[in-house]
Chain A
Amino acid sequence: MPAAVREQTTPRSPLRTGPLRRSTGPGPRRPSRAAGRGIWPYALIAPAVLGTLYLLVYPLVRAIVISLQDFGLRQLIVGDAHFVGFKNYETLLGDGQFWEVVRRTFLFMAVNVALIMVLSTLVALMVERLGRFGRTAVLSALVLTWAMPVIAATTVFQWLFHSEFGIVNAVLTDLGFESFDRYPWFAHGPGAFAIVVLLIVWQSVPFAAITLYSALTTVPTELYESARIDGASGPRIFRAITFPMVRPIFMLIFSLEVIWTFKAFVQIWVMTNGGPGDATTILPVYAVQTALSSQRYDLGSAASMVTVVLMSGVLAFYFRQMLRQEDELA
């Protein structure tokens, strides 16, 4: 998928010679016809296929099976789980708390993705207009942020927003917002929710901004020049030229961010454990809590499967974009 983001830009910029540049036409770089008949290719992919079957397909099938069984702590130890049909799904979908979690997951996703897309587009446009020094500085800062390991970043954010000695409360108090003196961010639902969103946006913008920026650099400058000669305004140029040109990449990033925020688990688990109350409980957190904390593996698996089904819509959209690229290349 990352290569896809890269490859997608390539056919549009024939002048660029990146390391991954591939020929698109029928040329000498296509797989040679004479070579590779027989069982060799299959022997070469066999380990990868077997690994995927055991480590990915089997767990997925197992999850589906468990979600159709009565599977609690007893069944985990004794192993006499029996099928109960769709009972777990009925229990789940009839539970008001579950729907509350679904609603919160979508709210969480919408807020995150909107902020990420707007901010990263602005940053990408800004980087494009900066001088050489400023561009290097901003790109390096983005790369460093991106490189920050999730657990380290989560720990640092807990420290930044620490109620007593945190720098954020100190600065806010100094600025005259006395109510933030020792404000316990993680004890209030909206506060905790806001910090988790902030953390995820802070972590996600660098990738989106850098990728969008490299897409922006592939737009031919002649287009801008002729538009300016025609007297088009800045916003109008963005709408009529820039955005249509980077649209494929924009949509790819958009769907990736939707998927990634849908799966945001580590940050929430480490920072708030879904709390306070269940103010930051989104679907993946809910599934793990149900399964591993309350020992209802069946309900947890059912919740996971609902998550996968909800996500598959976005995934289908993403793959359609991907495959279009594959067809151009293969």
Chain B
Amino acid sequence: MSTTLPRARRARRIRRLPLNAAAVLTVVVCLFPVYWMVATAFTPTRDIQSDSPRFVPESSTLDHFRAAMGADGFGLFWRNSLLVTLTAVLLALVIALGAAYAVARMKWKGRRQFMLMVFIAQMAPWESLIIPVYIISRDTDMLDRLPTLTLVYFMMTLPFTVIVLRGFIGTIPPELEESAQVDGCTRLGAFRRIAFPLLAPGLMATSLFGYITAWNEFTYANFLIIKQQDNRTLPVWLSSFQNVFGTDWGATMAASTLFAAPALVVFLLLQRHVTSGFAAGAVKG
């Protein structure tokens, strides 16, 4: 094969060898932990606990997934996570839409100050607010309850949602709405009929990123839900999985896979948006 290649191309290939090797190394380093999680989840226990682990499992089993899904409260925690994240994201979306519209389309005193507040809120030191939030929840009898988590997640995703939606609304020419208003629409009607359909993709993308933030959140779920174990969410369940299942790493990896799968799928579907770089902070734990 290589003898038929023109000399210049061969030289180019050799010159590019380090570059391609670096690329392969990057891909391997990035993917190996993810691969190893899935591979272990399918590997029979006797192979997992062997002295010479293999990179490609010889035989596969679904036992670990059965063990993970049969674990106490699996369905319940799944439901809790879904409920909390969906409510929080929906709430953030509705409230952010109003605020983003006001910022992008209206001129009013304090607009700049409001955006400054939003940017500061986006960087809120949530890790340093656990103690007061715990004490406030305790004082108001909100400890161990899912609505508390919903409110916290709502606030975590709100600033990001406002910032992104403002950008999206800014891309829709106001003339479209204005001409609809001339044709007899109310301002709200013009927004609903003209701008909203155009906004739909933006709303989808934004809500999915918010969804991932809330889906992954661990700290508040861990410290605000203490006594009422039935109200735990998936991340907390996963972190305590090892305590329950001890050395059953196959089942632990199966549980991790089941938990990570929705996030991985969403990200791959949204890759175009992700690579254009607007996902940033909200996605980061």
Contacts and interface: CB of A to CB of B under 8 A. Distances in A.
A206 B284 CA distance: 11
Given A41-B108, A149-B260, A150-B216, A206 B30 contact: yes
A314 to B, nearest CB: 10
Given A62-B132, A151-B238, A210-B277, A31 B106 contact: yes
Given A142-B26, A308-B125, 8 more contacts: A3-B166, A22-B167, A51-B158, A63-B128, A66-B131, A143-B268, A263-B126, A297-B131
B218 interface: yes
Given A141-B27, A157-B33, A149 B215 contact: yes
Contacts of A210: 274-275, 277
B184 interface: no
Contacts of A190: none
A132 interface: no
B33 A35 contact: no
A307 B128 contact: yes
A4 to B, nearest CB: 7
Nearest to B235: A151
B105 A62 contact: no
B125 A6 contact: no
B34 A145 contact: yes
A2 B280 contact: yes
Nearest to A6: B278
B71 interface: no
A40 B164 CA distance: 21
B83 interface: no
A50 B70 CA distance: 43
Contacts of B74: none
Pairs A-B, 6 closest by C-beta atoms: A36-B106, A2-B280, A147-B267, A150-B285, A304-B128, A44-B102
A126 B154 CA distance: 38
A137 B27 contact: yes
Interface residues of B, number: 118
Contacts of B115: 326, 330
B185 interface: no
Contact of B171 (A22, A155, A156): A22
Contacts of A148: 33-34, 260, 263-264
A36, A44, A153 — which one has the most chain B CB atoms within 10 A of its CB? A44
Interface in B154-177: 154-155, 158, 160, 162-164, 166-168, 170-171, 173-175
A110 interface: no
A20 B167 contact: yes
B179 interface: no
Contact of B158 (A48, A60, A158, A304): A48
28 contacts: A2-B163, A2-B277, A5-B280, A20-B164, A20-B171, A28-B173, A31-B104, A41-B102, A45-B102, A49-B114, A55-B151, A60-B129, A66-B131, A76-B135, A126-B23, A144-B264, A145-B30, A147-B260, A147-B264, A149-B285, A151-B235, A153-B33, A159-B253, A269-B219, A270-B239, A318-B123, A319-B120, A326-B119
Interface string A153-167: 111111110100101
Contact of B235 (A9, A149, A157): A149
Given A3-B163, A265-B127, A162 B249 contact: yes
A3 B278 CA distance: 5
A130 B128 contact: no
Q: Is the interface of A mostly helix, strand, loop or mixed?
A: helix
B278 to A, nearest CB: 4
Contact of A260 (B50, B256, B275, B284): B284
Contacts of A49: 114, 117
Contact of A51 (B52, B154, B174): B154
Given A31-B104, A165-B48, A292 B173 contact: no
A59 B132 contact: yes
Interface string A121-152: 01100110110001001111111111111111
A214 B271 CA distance: 13
Given A48-B162, A156-B37, A287 B256 contact: no
Given A22-B171, A48-B99, A138 B26 contact: yes
